[in-house]
Amino acid sequence: MKLPAMGPLGTLHHHPSFASKFVDPRPVDVWLPPGYAAQGEARRFAVIYLHDGQNLFDPQKAFGGVPWAIDEAVVRLSQSGAIREAIVVGIWNTEKRWHEYMPQKAVDMPEAAGLRKALAEGQEGEVISDHYLRFIVQEVKPFVDSEYRTLPAPENTVVMGSSMGGLASLYALCEYPETFGGAGCLSTHWPAASEALLAYLGQALPHPGHHRLYFDYGTEDVDAPYEPYQTQADALMRAAGYREGIDWTTYKFPGAGHSERAWRERVHVPLQFLLEGRPY
């Protein structure tokens, strides 16, 4: 897809140490699209919450020196009319990334007995993704909704991430369907708990018709083993009544690997599915 040339790239607000009673403090970035300043106080905007927020905008902060450049993607797509303008909230990760992103209720499933044993025997610490989601839902989102001109309803609230961030996004939608209307799960890292994650998904999916779920995967390096798990997840989506291409979609990207560069090259795809011109 050839994207049109883009205009001004909006405004980035950096909150360097966002405090929490649930998890460790960390930076949170809030990016406002060009239309935010141009269209006056009456205009309100959808919001995209993204994990691994340091990888979104600045090459000096992004892993591998390549950011997602999601600001460029949102500007291009909104200017062409493919999506509605949206605010982007980038929530940075911490050293506890795996523990904050690993779906906690999946770890509690019978299928995760081996993982629980390994965690108990090691020094890694406990899974705290329920606390991480409370941080987003009870602290970050209320702050963003109070300080910025948002459309706070779930049909205008999307959560998105890659790899373990894809799992965290799926978990957020399943646990807080009244908060998030859509989830973008890029290169979802199913092998983190494989059968337990699929068992959790089969039990926890919200009723279809009011949410959208986007999945994708590449075929190289870390992404190489994802397809069999994603095929099972797709079957669970169908069994739950999700309509392919309407409520949910899955894309395979042959030749794509597991990197910020790969996700940057295709981030326009989930954005279009989750933020098309009209709310769902």
Quick: pLDDT tens for 98-153: 999 999 999 999 998 988 888 887 756 899 999 999 999 999 999 999 999 999 99
Interstrand relation of 248-253 and 212-218 (parallel, antiparallel or unpaired): parallel
Identify which of 225, 188, 209 has the alpha carbon closest to the alpha carbon of residue 106.
188
pTM equals 0.94
Lowest mean pLDDT: which of 18-32, 73-87, 116-130, 180-194? Answer: 116-130
Is CATH 3.30.70.3340 what the domain over 11-274 is classified as, yes or no? Answer: no
d(C-alpha 39, C-alpha 61), whole Å: 31
d(C-alpha 119, C-alpha 88), whole Å: 34
| CB contact at 8 A, 234 and 172 | no
Locate 264 and state its tokens.
Answer: 């940057």
User: SS3 of 81, please?
Assistant: coil
Q: Residues 6 or more apart from 203 whose CB is under 8 A from it?
A: none
Where do the structural domains in the chain lie, given as residue ranges?
Answer: 11-274
